[in-house]
Amino acid sequence: MPVIAVVGGQWGDEGKGKVVDFLAERVNMVVRFSGGDNAGHTVINPFGKFKLHLIPSGIFYPDVTCIIANGVVVNPVVLTKEIDDLNKRGIDTSRLFISDRANLVMPYHILLDGLEEEARGGGALGTTRRGIGPAFTDKVARLGIRAGELLNRETLKQRLGFVLDYKNRILTRVYGVEPVGLDELYQQCCRWGEGLTGHLRDTSAMLDEAVSNGDTILLEGAQGALLDPDFGTYPYTSSSSSLAGNGCIGAGIGPAKIDKVVGIFKAYNTRVGAGPMPTELKDKTGDLIRERAQEFGTTTGRPRRCGWFDAVAARYSQVVNGLTGAVITRLDILDAFDKIKICVGYKLDGKTINYFPADAAALYRCQPIYEEVAGWQTPTSHITGYDELPSRLKDYVSRLEGLIDCPVHLACVGPERSQAVIKTPIF
């Protein structure tokens, strides 16, 4: 049975949560492997409408084991709240496991995220201010506190004291703000440890056992390829790798064990936060997409920047992820348009290019070269069979399939689980 990585193909918010929710019916395990609570997805299913930041959407299926793996940075406050909220609404969370190797997002990370953004002034990245960048920085600086450490109170106090001593010097001397108190934070950590103890595990070992048993496993990424710190629009990126390759390290599984890599793309493009976005529409068309799709961040509520589908970026995303298939979401948003544009190249400094430049400054100068196709101008949200979709919509999907250069599995026409129309089965 396959191990399938599900990753964002654009700048995040492509609808990974919805796709995982749809696929999870057929799987045994869902493993979230990157990012933190900067991610957020809204899932609408027979149990209601849920906003999740950390817990994989597989949690709604009683037989699916859900893992938050070592590659995720975990804010215990957010996680505890999500667990409590789900439990209150009758969703069982006893099958949720968190890697004891996952680094924690601490209150001082959130503080520093805000202070660093303020210090950047006009060069601010527009982070979600959830402390994600500072937490990943501490992970590689070996100053992180890992989830498993919450269970060993003696060493926890020692490590916390060492780390806080360093952090407090930065907070007070660089930023001139109040230090974080050790005792209070230590007590808080002990409470988090008590609350999470039943969920903490060596999740890589669980994954290994599931692979040996022949289970079907989804590796769920966060954000999207264009926010990847290596391949995204650096420095306007997030701080953990959003690519399928990080599914191995972030979940603790060997590369040869991943059978399929499915990239999720919206039928148009959105971006939240600063940084280049060649197809951004700062006009009525962009506003119309935003209004129709309610493109406002799940985590921050910020309006998302909207634009036409960027096939140069999408093809690049296919290459750096090694996509074996794609899903196109939110096609119903385009129901209203008589003409739809697809960016098939860029004009950069007078030259036509068909690659995604590494340099953010160059990307800012890229002018999209568009191909225009006729819209289908008919409602599609009720359609459940691929053959019943309007022929122009199918032409659009086929064109994207050719440009991205991998088969499209699903064409999504609404936010609900049932509104995913199968073109080519994934399983």
DSSP state of 174: I
**By the rule CB under 6 A, 114 interacts with ligand IMP:** no
- Give the helix/strand (H/E) hosting 40: none
**By the rule CB under 6 A, 9 interacts with ligand IMP:** no
Instruction: Please count the other Cβ atoms lying within 10 Å of the Cβ belonging to residue 31.
Output: 31
DSSP-assigned letters across all residues of 110-157: HHHHHHHHHHHGGG-----SSSHHHHHHHHHTT---BGGGGG-HHHHH
**By the rule CB under 6 A, 6 interacts with ligand IMP:** no
With CB under 6 A as the contact rule, the residue among 125, 207, 217, 262 that binds ligand IMP is 125
State the minimum distance, in angstroms, from the CB of residue 68 to ligand IMP.
15
* Residue 64: partners with Cβ closer than 8 Å, 6 or more residues away: 24, 27, 28, 29, 30, 58, 95
**Residue for token digits 């599900």?**
6
With CB under 6 A as the contact rule, the residue among 24, 132, 185, 293 that binds ligand IMP is 132
End-to-end CA distance of the chain: 9
State the minimum distance, in angstroms, from the CB of residue 227 to ligand IMP.
5
Name the token pair of 181.
Answer: 């108190």
Determine the size of the site formed for ligand IMP (CB under 6 A).
Answer: 19
State the minimum distance, in angstroms, from the CB of residue 357 to ligand IMP.
18
Q: Which is nearer to ligand IMP, 12 or 276 (CB)?
A: 12
Q: Known catalytic residues?
A: 13, 41
Name the token pair of 129.
Answer: 């201010």
The closest residue (CB) to ligand IMP is 273
With CB under 6 A as the contact rule, the residue among 9, 76, 133, 307 that binds ligand IMP is 133
State the minimum distance, in angstroms, from the CB of residue 11 to ligand IMP.
6
Q: Per CB under 6 A, which region of 8-16, 167-175, 377-385, 391-399 contacts ligand IMP? A: 8-16
With CB under 6 A as the contact rule, the residue among 30, 39, 218, 333 that binds ligand IMP is 39
Which amino acid would we find at residue 363?
L
Alpha helices for 213-283 (secondary structure H)? 246-251
With CB under 6 A as the contact rule, the residue among 38, 65, 318, 419 that binds ligand IMP is 38
**By the rule CB under 6 A, 277 interacts with ligand IMP:** no
Residue numbers 40-69 binding ligand IMP by CB under 6 A = 40
Q: Which is nearer to ligand IMP, 156 or 243 (CB)?
A: 243
- Give the helix/strand (H/E) hosting 229: none
Alpha-carbon gap, residue 130 to 113, rounded angstroms: 7
Name the token pair of 407.
Answer: 């088969």
Instruction: Please count the other Cβ atoms lying within 10 Å of the Cβ belonging to residue 204.
Output: 18
**By the rule CB under 6 A, 12 interacts with ligand IMP:** yes
**Site residues, ligand IMP (CB under 6 A):** 11-13, 38-40, 125-128, 130, 132-133, 223, 227, 238-239, 272-273
